[in-house]
Structure 1
């Protein structure tokens, strides 16, 4: 996976928007103004994703490319380095998990609107 395929995948998720609120080096993906992924555009290639706390620990213990979220709440966020060691399937599963956590945190009406897109 590269930054372009990461971007395309994130934008394929319903209701996703992208922006650069923290400067030109960090691409941010949101659902209804709630962040689910922050991607660094500098080397090394990495992104931050939201994660269930227990699953976050499991992923960190299983993969050296997954560490506590850089500049984030380390209980709920992981930083993932995507340098070719993790498969695209593993990466998209982490992205999907983050997206679903944020989607479920939205009010029911907004969830329904997004699901109907």
Structure 2
């Protein structure tokens, strides 16, 4: 899956929008593209590298998922609620899409109708 296909997939979910909120704050984070449902993020990646994405995840399945090659602890986020997923082929496109879908569902389930 290339960067445009991944981006289109993330944007295909209802009430989803994208942004680059870190451009003016952190030198190493200027190229981070974030996908939101309402005001809550569910996925993001570095557009300059596109080597992994970070996704919200059900805490009950995180440890099992991390046993899979290509799924690891995220950089600078809660290891209890987020995972980092390799986009280099270690994780199949189907599994990446499934994890994105679950991330979106997890975040959107926590929103009130007013915030979407």
TM-score (normalised: structure 1)? 0.87
Give how far 1:110 is off: 4.2
Give how far 1:84 is off: 1.6
**Per-residue deviation, residues 1-33 of structure 1 (Å, max 9, x unmatched):** 111111000011111000000124100000111
2:62 equivalent to 1:50: no
Give how far 1:96 is off: 0.5
* Structure with the higher fraction of residues in helix conformation: 1
Question: What runs of 5+ residues in structure 2 fail to find an aligned partner?
Answer: 24-29
TM-score (normalised: structure 2)? 0.87
Moved over 4 A (4+): none
Q: Once superposed, what is the RMSD of the aligned Cα atoms?
A: 1.5
2:76 aligned residue (71, 75, 78) = 71
Give how far 1:56 is off: 1.2
Secondary structure of the corresponding residue to residue 21 of structure 2: coil
8 Å contact from structure 2 (residues 69, 90) kept in 1: no
Give how far 1:85 is off: 2.4
